A and B are shown apart, each in its own frame.
Chain A
Amino acid sequence: MWERIGAMVFKELRQMARDPGMIVMMLMFPIIQLLIFGFAINSDPRHLPMAVESNDNSAFSRAILSSLCNTGYFDLIELADQPVEGDRLIAEGRAQFVLTVPSDFSRALVRGEHPQLLLTVDATDPASTGPAVAAVNEAVSQALARELHGPLAARQPGPPPVSLVLHRSYNPEGVTSHNTVPGLLAIILSMTMVALTAMSVTREVEQGTMENLLATPLRPIEVMVGKIVPYFGMGLVQVLVVLAAARIVFQVPFEGSFVLLLAVTLLFTLVSLALGFTLSTLVESQVMSMQASMLYLLPSILLSGFAFPYRGMPLLVQWLAEILPPTHYIRLVRGIMLKGWDARLAAPEAGVLLVMLLVLGTVAVRRYRDTIA
């Protein structure tokens, strides 16, 4: 038995080694994904272009402006003095924000008339403006707190009745990559384990080599294990690449236990492999298996909580996400890496993956027989 499995593993490794695309897939894939999701994607965009239509050039308006720029969210691109200029800049997309200071702003402020400031926002993409808008109020009151002194100190707003203490746990600076890079483990493993195993099995069927394999004393389970082992190794390499990048390049904190992370990763890998095998028994060609994998990968990326907030989805879609293994694995990785989950905290999500493994594993073994057709 071990000799036959060994023969399969050895054969798979040789075939992999001869397929340059496979090596590219193994190493380049995590790296490309890391570059895209780690560097390129930022859910907290800064340096957004802002134009100012100032009709009141005073110490107050200048203080507010510099305070806004100091938040890091805004870059002043233009000081317009004609009224229509701001609308045009927003329509053209050159400015995402236009701050309009009314002409009697400082006078009204000094008189205590509660003057208004107008912030026009190009809100086509709500995600890109949200964090910046949230920072505006704080920046304005800080600027005024410094400027309203001496006789104007009376205009200082009194302390709010309740002071809210905000404690951003686990990712205090809100660094996007701390969230996406751990999640990438799920995406990369899904791609490799599901898509590649499904393709590797259907390739044997398509090329007619499966008939030959099954006519030999090789048992289905031996063919399966022989195919799993190399891909498993490949997945391990990818996991290490991503974890190394998380640590060295992105400085993602690692609060929990490395062993626990490896354990749940192993579990998720097995679930994905079982899924890939089951998939391969349902499709007839490599093209079909590629399409089926994509059908799985797309919701895995979009609905699992990797790319978009899980809680932002309608309840029905949340249920759908629950049946996707990556949803649970992503929670586990984030929990262990960022929140320092121990085995007890990880148990519920890991339990779901374990159930999935049992179900999919049974289906895969049952459907994958030693006969053809």
Chain B
Amino acid sequence: MSEAPAIAVRGLTKRFGPRTVVDHVDLTVQPGRICGFLGPNGSGKTTTLRMICGLLIPDAGEGEVLGLDLKTQRRAIKQQIGYMTQKFGLFGDLTIAENLEFIARVYGLDRKRARVDAALEQLGLASRADQLAGKLSGGWKQRLALAAAVLHEPKILLLDEPTAGVDPQARREFWDQIHGLARDGMTVLVSTHYMDEAERCHEIAYIAYGVMLARGTTAEVIAASGLHALQGEGGGADRLAAEIEARPGVAMAAPFGTTLHVCGPDPAALREAVKPWAGQVRFTESAPTLEDVFIHLMRDAPDHSVLERA
């Protein structure tokens, strides 16, 4: 890791009135890596992304994006960053081709025609270039937005919940594309709610209520959580969730189909907790999932936004 990081921010803080939405977030992403940005709704993911791409000025903290200062060189950063907003940010009353042409002009790209044509070809939209963007389905809108965000070949790509409301196949294709871009050296920071997507990232960062709670690869984050899990099968295990969760030593119990997933910080205490049902349900060792870790982290995290308003 001798290369300079693509994104390096320290102590990033943003307040809206009395609420601290992002509280001293540090984040470093190496070039060519895909970093998944996770956290519950309203946890400050979008605000952090906006600060990194220069749409918001941090109240405190500093950082460099591609070696450029986050506070003083926002314009130079914007030129080299691609940002795909959570909401479809292109113009619904322009055609697909017109949207791409507009982006090409705004970035002052050379060979506009060729780039737009290539993007259309790659999207598989060449035949529908004259269709209004607003008439596209969710999945196609998302593809178009991605094509527009990378049209100027940015070094960094910021994606804000890019796959919300998109079907599994389109999601799969979307992630294949992201990995392709990363292979070519693009650094990707992507916020998401989906655990399967988090697992597709090289590394993840978990933020809740403005505070960074976990950071690393999936395996590192799970290991660092210190959680242990059991899986219960048979005997109506799935109906015992509430009862078991109330036992000491159990952090969470959640039904998955007919099975029950139980986890807690201490393996011995966990075994002890499920003992009363040992006769009817067969409990076996299981690996804690990323979801376990995140829900556990989220429950333990103080909600700054609520605390400070109170």
Residues A208 and B85 in contact in the complex (CB < 8 Å), given A11-B91, A15-B93, A216-B103: yes
Residue A169 at the B interface, CB < 8 A? no
- The contact of A215 among B57, B83, B92, by CB within 8 Å, is B83
- The contact of B91 among A3, A15, A217, A370, by CB within 8 Å, is A15
Interface SS of chain A: helix, strand, loop or mixed?
helix
Per the bound structure, the CA–CA distance linking A217 and B151 in Å amounts to: 14
CB-based contact B78/A216 at 8 Å: yes
Closest-by-CB residue of B relative to A204 is B91
Residue A6 at the B interface, CB < 8 A? yes
Interface residues of A in 232-247 (CB under 8 A from B): none
Residues of A within 8 Å of B55, CB to CB, are: 211, 214-215, 371-372
CB-based contact B83/A212 at 8 Å: yes
CB-based contact A3/B85 at 8 Å: no
Residue B107 at the A interface, CB < 8 A? yes
Per the bound structure, the CA–CA distance linking A371 and B91 in Å amounts to: 20
Residues of B within 8 Å of A8, CB to CB, are: 106
Residue A14 at the B interface, CB < 8 A? yes
Interface residues of A in 332-373 (CB under 8 A from B): 370-373
Closest-by-CB residue of A relative to B76 is A217
**Separation in Å of the A80 CB from the closest CB of chain B?**
65
CB-based contact A215/B78 at 8 Å: yes
Per the bound structure, the CA–CA distance linking A209 and B50 in Å amounts to: 14
Residues of A within 8 Å of B54, CB to CB, are: 215, 370-371
**Separation in Å of the A202 CB from the closest CB of chain B?**
15
Per the bound structure, the CA–CA distance linking A14 and B133 in Å amounts to: 13
Residue B53 at the A interface, CB < 8 A? yes
Residues A208 and B89 in contact in the complex (CB < 8 Å), given A217-B78, A372-B55: yes
- Kindly supply a per-residue 1/0 record for chain A positions 25-63, scoring 1 wherever the CB is within 8 Å of any chain B CB and 0 otherwise: 000000000000000000000000000000000000000
Most B CB within 10 A of own CB, among A7, A14, A209, A215: A215
Residues of B within 8 Å of A11, CB to CB, are: 91, 94, 98, 102
Residue A218 at the B interface, CB < 8 A? yes
Residues of B within 8 Å of A7, CB to CB, are: 102, 105-106
CB-based contact B75/A10 at 8 Å: no
Residues of A within 8 Å of B75, CB to CB, are: 217, 219
CB-based contact A209/B90 at 8 Å: yes
Residue B108 at the A interface, CB < 8 A? yes
- Kindly supply a per-residue 1/0 record for chain B positions 203-235, scoring 1 wherever the CB is within 8 Å of any chain A CB and 0 otherwise: 000000000000000000000000000000000
**Separation in Å of the A124 CB from the closest CB of chain B?**
50
Per the bound structure, the CA–CA distance linking A373 and B92 in Å amounts to: 23
CB-based contact B102/A209 at 8 Å: no
Per the bound structure, the CA–CA distance linking A4 and B108 in Å amounts to: 7
Residues of A within 8 Å of B107, CB to CB, are: 216-217
Per the bound structure, the CA–CA distance linking A199 and B103 in Å amounts to: 23
Residue A207 at the B interface, CB < 8 A? yes
Closest-by-CB residue of B relative to A218 is B106
Q: How many A-B residue pairs have CB under 8 A?
A: 77
Closest-by-CB residue of B relative to A15 is B93
Closest-by-CB residue of B relative to A7 is B105
CB-based contact A3/B108 at 8 Å: yes
- Kindly supply a per-residue 1/0 record for chain B positions 145-157, scoring 1 wherever the CB is within 8 Å of any chain A CB and 0 otherwise: 0000000000000
Residues of B within 8 Å of A372, CB to CB, are: 50, 55-56
Residue B81 at the A interface, CB < 8 A? yes
Per the bound structure, the CA–CA distance linking A213 and B56 in Å amounts to: 14
CB-based contact B88/A208 at 8 Å: yes
Per the bound structure, the CA–CA distance linking A216 and B81 in Å amounts to: 8
Residue B131 at the A interface, CB < 8 A? no
- Kindly supply a per-residue 1/0 record for chain B positions 134-170, scoring 1 wherever the CB is within 8 Å of any chain A CB and 0 otherwise: 0000000000000000000000000000000000000
- The contact of B87 among A208, A214, A216, A370, by CB within 8 Å, is A208
- The contact of B90 among A3, A18, A212, by CB within 8 Å, is A212
Closest-by-CB residue of A relative to B92 is A207
Per the bound structure, the CA–CA distance linking A211 and B54 in Å amounts to: 11
Residue A125 at the B interface, CB < 8 A? no
Per the bound structure, the CA–CA distance linking A212 and B87 in Å amounts to: 9
**Separation in Å of the B116 CB from the closest CB of chain A?**
13
Per the bound structure, the CA–CA distance linking A11 and B79 in Å amounts to: 20
Residues of B within 8 Å of A15, CB to CB, are: 91, 93-94
Closest-by-CB residue of B relative to A372 is B55
Residues of B within 8 Å of A211, CB to CB, are: 50, 55, 85, 87, 89
Closest-by-CB residue of B relative to A11 is B102
- Kindly supply a per-residue 1/0 record for chain B positions 97-123, scoring 1 wherever the CB is within 8 Å of any chain A CB and 0 otherwise: 010001101111000000000000000
Per the bound structure, the CA–CA distance linking A349 and B74 in Å amounts to: 42
- Kindly supply a per-residue 1/0 record for chain A positions 4-22, scoring 1 wherever the CB is within 8 Å of any chain B CB and 0 otherwise: 1011101100110011000
Residues of A within 8 Å of B93, CB to CB, are: 14-15, 18-19
Residues of B within 8 Å of A219, CB to CB, are: 75
- The contact of B106 among A18, A217, A371, by CB within 8 Å, is A217
**Separation in Å of the A206 CB from the closest CB of chain B?**
10
Residues of A within 8 Å of B83, CB to CB, are: 212, 215
Residues of B within 8 Å of A209, CB to CB, are: 89-91
Closest-by-CB residue of B relative to A226 is B106
- Kindly supply a per-residue 1/0 record for chain A positions 219-236, scoring 1 wherever the CB is within 8 Å of any chain B CB and 0 otherwise: 100000000000000000
Per the bound structure, the CA–CA distance linking A15 and B85 in Å amounts to: 21
CB-based contact B81/A373 at 8 Å: no
CB-based contact B105/A212 at 8 Å: no
Per the bound structure, the CA–CA distance linking A213 and B108 in Å amounts to: 14
Chain B interfacial positions (CB closer than 8 Å to A): 16, 50, 53-57, 74-75, 78-79, 81, 83, 85-94, 98, 102-103, 105-108
A-B contact pairs, 23 of them (CB 8 A): A4-B106, A8-B106, A10-B105, A11-B91, A11-B98, A11-B102, A15-B94, A18-B93, A18-B94, A19-B93, A208-B86, A208-B87, A208-B89, A211-B50, A211-B55, A215-B55, A215-B78, A216-B78, A217-B108, A218-B106, A219-B75, A371-B54, A371-B56
Q: A8-B106, A15-B91 are in contact. List 11 more A-B contacts (CB 8 A).
A: A4-B108, A7-B106, A19-B93, A212-B89, A215-B78, A216-B78, A216-B103, A217-B79, A217-B108, A219-B75, A373-B56
Chain A interfacial positions (CB closer than 8 Å to B): 3-4, 6-8, 10-11, 14-15, 18-19, 207-209, 211-219, 370-373
Q: Which 9 A-B pairs have the closest CB atoms?
A: A212-B89, A7-B105, A208-B87, A215-B83, A216-B106, A211-B85, A18-B93, A217-B79, A7-B106
